[in-house]
C-alpha cells in the first residue's frame, strides 16, 4: 500500500496554518463549527485539504454580483 500524501496537522500546526489561535480552534470545535477535524483517540488532527476548503468557503469576492 502506498502512503498517502495528505498532510495531517496537529492543533498547533493547524492554528498557525490558518493564522488563528489554538483557543479559537478549540472554541469552534466546542460550538461544532468548521473547520472539519479528526479525532484519533484523544488527539485532534486536521487534514490540510479540509483547512484549505475552510479557507475557500470564507472567500468573498467584492466584485461578484
Residue pLDDT, tens place only, 10-51: 999 999 999 999 999 999 999 999 999 999 999 999 999 999
Residue 4 has pLDDT above 90, yes or no: no
Residue 2 has pLDDT above 60, yes or no: no
- Which of residues 64 and 34 earns the better pLDDT score? 34
What is the reported pTM? 0.83
Residue 56 has pLDDT above 70, yes or no: yes
Residue entry with cell 489554538:
22
What lies within 8 Å, CB to CB, of 30 at 6+ separation is none
Q: What is the pLDDT of residue 6?
A: 72
| Separation in Å, CA 4 to CA 15, 34, 64 | 22, 23, 37
In the chain, domain spans: 8-57
Amino acid at each position: 500500500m502506498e502512503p498517502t500524501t495528505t498532510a495531517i496537522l496537529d492543533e498547533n500546526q493547524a492554528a498557525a496554518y490558518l493564522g488563528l489561535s489554538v483557543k479559537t480552534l478549540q472554541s469552534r470545535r466546542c460550538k461544532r463549527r468548521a473547520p472539519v477535524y479528526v479525532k484519533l483517540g484523544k488527539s485532534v488532527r486536521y487534514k490540510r485539504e479540509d483547512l484549505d476548503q475552510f479557507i475557500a468557503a470564507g472567500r468573498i469576492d467584492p466584485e461578484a454580483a
